[in-house]
Amino acid sequence: MGLAGVKRADVLIVGQGLAGTLLAWELERAGIDFAIADQGQANAASLAAAGIINPVTGRRLVKTWRIETLLPRARLTYQQFGDALGLPVWRELRVRRLFADEGERAAWARKRGTGELAPFVTAAADEQGFWIEQAARVDLGALLGAARKRWMAQGRLQERRAEPALETLHHAWVIDCTGHQGVRSAGAPRVAPWEFSKGEVLQLQLDDLDPGVVLNRRHWVMPAGAGAAWVGATHEPGVTDATPTESGRNVLERSAAEILGRPFRVTGHRAGVRVTVVDKLPVSGPIGTVPGLGVINALGGKGALWAPLLAAEWATFIRAGAAMDPLLDVNRFAG
């Protein structure tokens, strides 16, 4: 049930990564009282994420799940949030998808005449690849940093460690947005078949990169301001440490060299751990076995696209008891 009839909607958000940040924004807009407990973002997966929203992904060239409805929602959310913070965090992009091998070329040949990738892919391919339209990038570093300052100034953000299940003794709702750290905690309820994957990214310095184009060939190269870019991300299933590695750096340097075909300099190296579940959709909602405890997790590599929906659903649930999407219900794996 929601908080209809409760005089004070006392919500604690645990974790100020992307999910926790957008949830706090939606609660603030809805006039719901909230606090955030976050011990720091040094190893947050959100800070290692590129924030890319790509309508067509994977080696099989699949249209992203519900992209037609989720993309407009995400665009509006980030534009409004950016306006409130006084900085632009949303940038429209195109993706230049370069064929990595004959398998990808064959996948394109099968789909080019069906129209199933429209309206995001409409033009014919050339020898090297094709174009994906209506992609975007969310500047996660700027967004999370500015939001943190906002809620610190308001006295809402507490820099401390919190155990979500124990915090339910003091709050009407506690929503765990701590990603892999939360689900691997000894006290976390086992509510889903969690899967993990480590990803590493490099920051590059180079000139003359088109600021409106992401290059994608197995890995992506994304412009990140004048003379800067990111390349990523690696994928190591089952790895749960967030330490950058020499092997990850070597893989990404080789990939960047192949994609760019010109010199660059590495200026930064980050790593994070993605959380997914077997059906590759996020999980969200109240945890049935622990009253007052909820979660947003398993955003994988599509957090920038999915987080606005999940945060908005939580806000309407708390305010009015509105039902959440059953396809994303954290309890769908019960039993």
Q: How many residues does the chain have?
A: 335
255 in Cβ contact with 231 (< 8 Å):
yes
Q: How is residue 82 annotated by DSSP?
A: H
| Chain segment 76-104, per-residue pLDDT in tens | 999 999 999 999 999 999 999 999 999 99
Domain map (residue ranges) of the chain = 11-51+139-191+278-333, 195-276
Separation CA 308–CA 22 (nearest Å): 6
- Nearest in space to 213 (alpha carbons), one of 259, 267, 261, 269: 259
How buried is residue 330: exposed, middle or buried, by Cβ count under 10 Å (0-12/13-18/19+)?
A: buried
Can you give the pLDDT at residue 41?
A: 58
pTM: 0.92
Q: Torsion angle of alpha carbons 119, 124, 129, 132, nearest 10°? A: -10
- Nearest in space to 35 (alpha carbons), one of 14, 17, 18: 14
Residues facing 131 on adjacent strands: 96
How confident is residue 335, by pLDDT bands cut at 50, 70 and 90?
low
Which H/E stretch holds residue 68? helix 67-85
Identify the three-state secondary structure at position 77.
helix
| Chain segment 41-83, per-residue pLDDT in tens | 554 555 567 899 999 999 999 999 999 999 999 999 999 999 9
For domain 195-276, give the CATH number. Answer: 3.30.9.10
Class level of CATH domain 11-51+139-191+278-333: alpha beta
